[in-house]
Structure formats: C-alpha cells, structure tokens
Chain A
Amino acid sequence: MALEVNIVKRLGDFCLRTAFSCEKEFMGILGASGSGKSLTLKCIAGIEKPDRGRIVLDGKVLFDSEKKINLPPQQRRVGYLFQTCALFPGMTVRQNILCGLRREKDREIREKLADEMLGLLRIRDIAGQKPETLSGGQAQRTALGRILVNKPDLLMLDEPFSALDAHLRLKLQTELKNLLTGYGGGILMVTHDRDEAYRLCSRLGVMDRGQMLAVKETKALFADPETRAAAVLTGCKNIAGARRTGEREVFVPEWNIHLVTEKTVRDGLQAVGIRAHDFQPGIPENRFPVRIGQEMEEPFEWISEFRFADQDPGSPAVWWRYSRAARPETPPQALGVLPEKVLLLY
C-alpha cells in the first residue's frame, strides 16, 4: 500500500471528508472546481493541516491527529506540480532545478544530476533562461525536472494542463506520460477534464462537494459511474430522474418511456444516464419514436437535439452524437439504446 488517506477538513461552510488509497500507479481524482480535490493534495503535501484523520505514505506516518503527528512538508518527500508551475523568479531554469537538489551535499554530484535532468527533459538549450521567458511547455518541464531530481516518494499533479490551449495540452499529455514511465512511485493527479483523466490514469476517483465517491479502474468508472455526480463528470450528457419498475426495468417520467437495463435495478435508484454516443437508429432494444430538433455539425461528428414522442414539454432536449459517416439521409424516426448502455445512478 503506497498512500493511505483518511481525513476531515472544514473550511467555512465547506467540509472535506475523504478516504482512499493509491498504489504505485497513476491515479486520478476527477472533480469540478471547488470540489476539494486541490485541498486534498495540499493536505497530503502538508501545506494545509486536516482537522482529523491519518495520512500514511509507504509506511511512514505523515499525519495522525490522534498521535499528534504532523510532519512539515519538507520531511514528507511528496512532489507537488502546481498548475502555475511556481518556478522561482529571478533564477534560471538550471538554478530552479538545482533547488530540488539541495539535500545533496556534494556540489559536483548536484551539478551532474541537474545536467542529466536537463538532458532527459530536453531543456538543456534553455538552461540559462529565466522563467518569465519560457513557454508553457518549457515551464512545465522545468517544474517537473525540479521535482523529479528531488526523488519524491509520491508525485502529485494539480490540474497540470488546464492553463494550456487544447493543442499544446494533448502534446504535453503524451510527453508527460512518456516521461513518467521511468518514475517508480505513485502518481496522484487532480483534474476536471474527463478526457485527460481517461488518457492518463489507470484508476480514477470522483470527488463531489468534498466527498470521494466511487474509486475504480478508469474504464470501469466510465462504463458504470454509479452516481449522478460521477456521470456528469465523466461526460454523460443525458441524465433524467427514474424509478424502478421491475428487476431489469425502469420508468423515466421526464421522457415518458420505460427502459430495459442489463444490470438488475437496486432500490434507491435516483436517475438514469445515457451517453450521447449510445443512441443508434438501428438498435431494436429500447427503441422509441423521436423528433429530431436542432442539429450542429462538428469537424468529425454531428450533434442532434431530439425529444421523445411523449416527452414532458418542460424537460430539456436529449443529445445524440454520431460520426459523420453514420449520418442517415433523412432524420431517423426512432432511436434505440442497448440495455448495457443505460447507466443506473444512485
């Protein structure tokens, strides 16, 4: 067990109450802004002090409110990559990286390790530049290098890509994934971007209003998010209140339809979700007459708004997304959904 967290922290009206563990893996925490995910990282790093609880990393107790243990951040060996990179102004790229090596007493070893890192990150040619002259990608690599030379037992990434534009983001995500394959410790990343989480993380937790909901393998979480908040965060566009009407059947009042599900429906069902990609004209199951409304064209896909024939007029339209190749000549009169694609939300 690499990292174990079980903490409570109150900040005004907000209350963070979270418990999870992270192995030597790339784990993500997916949450909206203000959900407490950054606060969780700060508590692990020792920048914020939880009110109660326990944090253990590789058997070393970082925080324990009962035993009155609260290691300062300097002794925790937890790397923290800030969204803004937090490079020290006035110092060059190389000097910034040397800051991560101040534990090493021997000056020559320090210089050698810094040079190795500059080479590994391919930033040797900008080693003499000051932070304010760097591009977003260069600044991030410098900040990462500064952390990696410090050899942390756990690496934490706080929304590492959200300040970058879409093109650069994808490029840096690939780069980061490559760079970190050699890193042996656990990685904990917080993000609000489901694509980023899906691309990088092997396991994913969902955080909503200070609470950690499901923690699952990334693919399993997207296939069955279990809660409304997790469904929204994983990008499910169509969510409507529902109630159980049979072992494998639910009724959705807003859409005025009965859906057949693959999983057995438990008591306490609150809503169902159907991803916009999962509607198809050719599926015979859960097939209902629809009226297609507004349509929008994207470079590779179409988005159509539609309403079920007897849908409650006060409820929002439903979204359907499909590839350009699958666009029918005339708008379909009915759409179906496979029973396993009906997400049951509790």
Chain B
Amino acid sequence: MIDLFPLWNSLRIAAVSSVIVFFTGIFAAYKAARMPRLLKGILDVILTLPLVLPPTVCGWVLLRLFGNRRPVGQLLTQIGIRLVMNWPGGVAAAVVVAFPLMYRTARGAFESFDENLAWAGQTLGLSNTWIFWRIRMRACRQGILAGTVLAFARALGEYGATSMLIGYTPGRTATVSTTVYQLWRTNDESGALFWVAVNLAISAVVLLAVNLLEKRNRRQEWHLK
C-alpha cells in the first residue's frame, strides 16, 4: 500500500498558498493597475521576479529570512509558527513562486476593465466595496479564475524552494515533487512512476481547465462584437 501522505501534503500546501496568493495577488494587481507608469514598471519587476528566478534562489532568500536564527524566523517561532522543516514552510515557498502568476493574470484582467462601469455604479450610490466584488470582480472573473488555477498548479508542482526550506521527511514534509526525487534517488522505479503519473494527471486537469476558461472568455468577447 502506497502512503498517500505526499499527495495530501501537496494539496494542503497548494490550497492554503492559493488562498493567500488569491487575495494578495488581486490586491497588488488592483493597486498596480491604477499606478503611474514608472511606479508600475518598478513594482512589476519586483513582483514578477520570482517567476524567472531559479526556485533555489527563492529558497535561499527564504532561508535567510525565516531561518531559525534569523530575526524574522525567531519572531515567528515566538508566536508559534515554525517554517523551516515544517509544512507551513512549504506554503511560504509556494506563495512566493505562485504569486507572480496570479498578480500578472489579474492585472491584465483589471486593466481591460471598463472603468465606466465602476463610475456608473458610484453615481448610482453603490458602495465601492459592492462595486469591487459585484461588478469589477464579476467582469474580470475569467482572468482571475485562470490566474488562480495557474497559481494553484504552480504551487502544487513547487520543488526547488520547497526542498530547501522544508526538506524531505516522510510523513511530515514530503510532497509529491520531493517524493518523486527521493524515490528516483533510491531506485524505487515503480514508486516514482506512480507519483509521476499522479503529477501528470493533476497538471493535465489544470491545463484543461485553463484552456476551457480561455475559450469561454473568447466566445464572450466574440459575442460583444
């Protein structure tokens, strides 16, 4: 019987980090979309950097920040949060690498939003919060959904930063991707194959979902013309 802990661990890391990335990504995208061009350019570089950096570099930076003997790490330990060699560390790693995907997709959606809709809502007396959730998010929902799915998939497949931050402890920190590496290293061909298949299946489903979303999006645009 194969121990399914890595799947469960990967899923919980991906789920928690997706929720975090969903809100922070949307917030950053909303703010960036209305910034002056220069400031937006600078912010863009900083927020998108983790997308192009090797995950090991992200992992190194995270260890520097959250290491048990670093100020931030010690502060977190005091309030009972331990990131290094513990599964919440996987969440931190996944958030960092998945954030740019959410941020960029959401920003694109926000930038193509027709601002007249928000103004019309304001002059009708609708609150800004209502307008944001019921009109802006509604109009941009396809882009935001696509960003969320991509971020979830990226978080699920995270390897580099994760292995540096939380390592591989069976039953404690092992994820699908670190398990594949570990089983290959120990010549467990059939075990590795199983987890590779799991990984392929999840990724295929995710990409299918993104494609379907994009198709629906395009059909709606067609309709408007």
- Chain A residues at the B interface, C-beta cutoff of 8 Å: 42, 45-47, 72-80, 82, 84, 86, 88-90, 99-100, 102-103, 132, 143, 146-147, 150, 152
Q: Is the CB of B138 within 8 A of A73?
A: no
- Chain B residues at the A interface, C-beta cutoff of 8 Å: 114, 116-117, 119-127, 130, 134-135, 138-139, 220, 223-224
Residues of B within 8 A of A76 (CB): 123
Q: Is the CB of B125 within 8 A of A86?
A: no
Q: Is the CB of B125 within 8 A of A82?
A: no
A268 to B223, CA, bound (A): 56
A132 to B224, CA, bound (A): 6
A143 to B124, CA, bound (A): 11
A46 to B122, CA, bound (A): 9
Report the minimum CB–CB distance from B212 to chain A (whole Å): 18
Residues of B within 8 A of A75 (CB): 125
Interface of chain B, main secondary structure: helix
A250 to B120, CA, bound (A): 51
Report the minimum CB–CB distance from B132 to chain A (whole Å): 13
Residues of A within 8 A of B117 (CB): 86, 88-89
Q: Is the CB of A103 within 8 A of B116?
A: no
Q: Is the CB of B126 within 8 A of A74?
A: yes
A77 to B123, CA, bound (A): 7
Residues of A within 8 A of B121 (CB): 88, 99
Q: Is the CB of A99 within 8 A of B122?
A: no
Task: Choose among B114, B116, B126, B224 the residue that contacts A102 (Cβ–Cβ < 8 A).
Answer: B126
Task: Choose among B124, B139, B223 the residue that contacts A99 (Cβ–Cβ < 8 A).
Answer: B124
Residues of B within 8 A of A72 (CB): 122
Given A84-B114, A88-B135, does the pair A146, B124 have CB atoms closer than 8 Å? yes
Given A86-B114, A86-B117, A88-B117, does the pair A80, B123 have CB atoms closer than 8 Å? yes
**Cross-chain pairs A/B with CB under 8 angstroms, 12 sampled:** A47-B122, A73-B122, A74-B126, A75-B125, A77-B125, A79-B123, A82-B119, A99-B124, A132-B220, A147-B124, A150-B125, A152-B123
Q: Is the CB of A103 within 8 A of B123?
A: no
A132 to B222, CA, bound (A): 11
A146 to B223, CA, bound (A): 24
Q: Is the CB of A150 within 8 A of B122?
A: no
Task: Choose among B122, B124, B127, B138 the residue that contacts A89 (Cβ–Cβ < 8 A).
Answer: B138
A88 to B125, CA, bound (A): 14
A84 to B138, CA, bound (A): 18
Residues of B within 8 A of A84 (CB): 114, 116
Task: Choose among A45, A89, A90, A132 the residue that contacts B123 (Cβ–Cβ < 8 A).
Answer: A45
Task: Choose among A86, A100, A152 the residue that contacts B119 (Cβ–Cβ < 8 A).
Answer: A86
Report the minimum CB–CB distance from A20 to chain B (whole Å): 20
A150 to B124, CA, bound (A): 7
Can you name 8 extra interface pairs (CB under 8 A) apart from A74-B126, A102-B125, A103-B125? Answer: A45-B119, A86-B114, A86-B116, A90-B138, A90-B139, A132-B220, A132-B224, A147-B124
Q: Is the CB of A86 within 8 A of B126?
A: no
Report the minimum CB–CB distance from B213 to chain A (whole Å): 16
Task: Choose among B127, B138, B139 the residue that contacts A74 (Cβ–Cβ < 8 A).
Answer: B127
Q: Is the CB of B119 within 8 A of A47?
A: yes
A102 to B131, CA, bound (A): 12
Give B116's nearest chain A residue, CB to CB: A86
Report the minimum CB–CB distance from B169 to chain A (whole Å): 47
Residues of B within 8 A of A152 (CB): 123
Q: Is the CB of B126 within 8 A of A99?
A: yes
Q: Is the CB of A78 within 8 A of B138?
A: no
A42 to B223, CA, bound (A): 30
Given A86-B114, A99-B124, A150-B124, does the pair A80, B138 have CB atoms closer than 8 Å? no
Given A74-B125, A102-B125, A150-B125, does the pair A86, B223 have CB atoms closer than 8 Å? no
A82 to B224, CA, bound (A): 17
Residues of B within 8 A of A146 (CB): 124
Report the minimum CB–CB distance from A86 to chain B (whole Å): 4
A147 to B120, CA, bound (A): 9
Most chain A beta-carbon neighbours within 10 Å: one of B121, B125, B126, B220: B125
A99 to B122, CA, bound (A): 11
A343 to B117, CA, bound (A): 43
A123 to B138, CA, bound (A): 25
A77 to B124, CA, bound (A): 8
Q: Is the CB of B122 within 8 A of A132?
A: no
A45 to B126, CA, bound (A): 14
Residues of A within 8 A of B135 (CB): 88
